[in-house]
Amino acid sequence: MVEEYKVGDMAEKIRVLKETATELKRISGGIQAVDRNVDRILASVRILEINISDLVDIGIEDREG
């Protein structure tokens, strides 16, 4: 069974997540609970960025099954 990977699409979605979370923190007005949760979201987004760069590093880019 051949897997389907759309690394470019995933990278774009991750970029949008990061942008959205950053904007949420900017408009939070300093609400600590929001800021702390956004920081957690951004940490998870960073892990996703690393995962995607790892796929590119091992030669798995956009591939359709």
* Residue 37 neighbours by CB under 8 Å, 6+ apart: none
Would you tell me the crossing angle of helices 7-27 and 32-57 to the nearest 10 degrees?
Answer: 160
What confidence tens digit (pLDDT) does each residue in 2-46 have?
Answer: 467 788 889 899 999 999 999 999 999 999 999 999 999 999 999
In which band, very low, low, confident or very high, does the pLDDT at 64 lie, cut at 50, 70 and 90?
low
Containing structural domain, residue 18:
7-57
39 within a domain of the structure (yes/no): yes
Q: Structural domain tally of the chain?
A: 1
44 within a domain of the structure (yes/no): yes
* CA gap 25, 59 in Å, rounded: 35
| pTM recorded for the entire structure | 0.81
Over 80: is that where the pLDDT of 61 sits? Answer: no
18 within a domain of the structure (yes/no): yes
* CA gap 58, 11 in Å, rounded: 16
25 within a domain of the structure (yes/no): yes
- CA 47 to each of CA 8, 27, 40, 52, 59: distance values in angstroms, whole numbers, following the listed order: 16, 24, 11, 9, 19
